[in-house]
Amino acid sequence: MGKTGTESRIGEDVSPVARVSAAMAGLIGDYKALQAKLEEKLQKQEERLTMLDQKTALANRPALSTRAEVGVPHRKAFDAYLRSGDDDGLRGLELDGKGMSTAINSDGGFLVDPQTAETIKTSLKTTASIRQIANVVNVDATSFDVLVDQNDAGAGWANEISPTAETGTPTIERISIPLYELNAMPKVSQRLLDDTAFDVDDWLAGRIAEKFARSEASAFIAGDGVDKPRGFLDHLIVDDASWSWGTLGSVASGSGADIGDGDALIDMVYALNAPYRAKATFVMNSKTAGRLRKLKDADGRHLWADGFAFGEPGRLLGYPVLIAEDMPDIAADAHPIAFGDFTAGYTIAERPDLRVLRDPFSAKPHVLFYASKRVGGDVSDFAAIKLLRIAVS
């Protein structure tokens, strides 16, 4: 039978083509609406970032860092301890990479924060001291052993038929450098510590570095080794012609009360073996340097030459000069000038940590800060240093 008119209209309304077209039109409309919303959000975000960049540029604000400073918590906690004695922030604070806690009251104080410790270390290096040219090592023990090979292993020539002779074996010397406690105890009023404008970290670093530098400089040159490093002038000094291991060789100046005409300086330079001369340095105080600046050769040229650039040390006979005020003055039988490779000849051993203990009771109304570190020093190669002796022969 044929379909009626009503049935035909219903079939046309639900045809597949019409339904697909309607669905596509709705999907396209939803996509365009979503796209418009996303574009609007991106535009607002871009405007916000532009506004923040303009404010940052106008205020000259530094760029934000995505990396946190490791030493900031330690520095803040240490500052609180110095000002008020509050050690809650230091107790239990772990130092990354060291595997130890800063809360070490039983050992005599708290570890200084890395920034202050580095300031003190830099100050010690820049101060005129043997530390500038010596071999400096960090140790965690109570002493440091230096192994010195006095002579090279023997060698010989051989052919195809002759038996090979046994060569000599090197002699190994062990030099032990004990570490001693170096301390300083500056004081400041509690009222000044309460003033937030007072930079207690920089003040403490400066005072400690000044005290440590003076004590170290003297000990590395003339220390007797009793509760302090042993200076190179404390060892037995003999004429270079009779030098042996364990002593320092000296060259006579040719005058009983002066350094002579400078020829003894040349003798002292060449008394040092060639491998040491390549890195050698003269060491003397300011008075001796002033005397040497007046010396001239036979052609009237000064033996002393100033550095070519600012900050470079002066040179004597082509070698750099370190001014160390703890060296002796020119006098009969004194040894006012040293020459040698101090990187090989003198070793300074120290613990890298620095401790500070706050004492608000012993000097009221002032607060004492007991700062301590462990350091030692001694001659590590007796062949690497020569001395000038004020004597006729």
Check whether 70 has a pLDDT greater than 90.
no
Q: What is the CATH number of the domain that holds 268?
A: 3.30.2320
Question: Does 84 fall in a domain?
Answer: yes
Higher pLDDT, 8 or 233: 233
237 and 104 in a single domain? The answer is no
Top mean pLDDT of 70-79, 97-106, 214-223, 352-361 is at 214-223
User: Residue 96: which pLDDT band, with cuts at 50, 70 and 90?
Assistant: very low
Question: Does 318 fall in a domain?
Answer: yes
Check whether 101 has a pLDDT greater than 50.
no
Whole-structure pTM value: 0.68
For the ranges 7-21, 94-108, 156-170, 217-231, the lowest mean pLDDT is seen at: 94-108
In the numeric block, which tokens belong to residue 210?
Answer: 């000044």
pLDDT, one tens digit per residue, over 185-232 is: 888 888 887 776 777 777 777 888 888 888 999 999 999 999 999 999
In this predicted structure, what is the pLDDT of residue 110? 54
pLDDT, one tens digit per residue, over 263-276 is: 899 999 999 999 99
Check whether 108 has a pLDDT greater than 90.
no
User: Residue 240: which pLDDT band, with cuts at 50, 70 and 90?
Assistant: very high
Average pLDDT, the chain: 79
236 and 385 in a single domain? The answer is yes
Question: Cα(57)–Cα(77) distance, rounded to whole angstroms?
Answer: 33
* Last residue in a domain, options 79, 111, 143: 111
DSSP result, 309-367? STTPPPEETTEEEEE-TTSPPS-TT---EEEE-HHHHEEEEE-S--EEEEESSTTTTEE
pLDDT, one tens digit per residue, over 180-195 is: 999 888 888 888 877 7
Q: Before 313, cis peptide (omega within 30)?
A: no
Check whether 66 has a pLDDT greater than 70.
no
In this predicted structure, what is the pLDDT of residue 107? 47
Query: Strand runs (DSSP E) across 132-286, as ranges?
Result: 135-138, 143-149, 172-178, 180-184, 187-189, 237-239, 248-252, 281-284
DSSP result, 21-39? HHHHHHHHHHHHHHHHHHH
For the ranges 50-59, 251-260, 304-313, 361-370, the lowest mean pLDDT is seen at: 50-59
Helix (H, G, I), strand (E, B) or coil at 220: helix
Question: Does 307 fall in a domain?
Answer: yes
In this predicted structure, what is the pLDDT of residue 99? 35
The average pLDDT across 134-159 equals: 78
Which structural domain range is residue 106 located in?
71-111
List CB contacts of 347: < 8 A, sequence separation 6 or more.
Answer: 134, 135, 136, 137, 144, 146, 175, 177, 377, 378, 380
Helix (H, G, I), strand (E, B) or coil at 107: helix
The average pLDDT across 290-311 equals: 78
In this predicted structure, what is the pLDDT of residue 71? 54
239 and 105 in a single domain? The answer is no
* Last residue in a domain, options 61, 87, 111: 111
DSSP designation for 179: -
Higher pLDDT, 59 or 185: 185
Question: Does 373 fall in a domain?
Answer: no
In this predicted structure, what is the pLDDT of residue 106? 40
* Last residue in a domain, options 111, 128, 163: 111
Question: Does 315 fall in a domain?
Answer: yes
Question: Does 107 fall in a domain?
Answer: yes
In the numeric block, which tokens belong to residue 185?
Answer: 């105890």
Question: Does 302 fall in a domain?
Answer: yes
Question: Does 278 fall in a domain?
Answer: yes
pLDDT, one tens digit per residue, over 308-344 is: 666 677 889 889 999 999 999 999 999 999 999 999 9
Give how many domains the chain has, as a whole number: 2
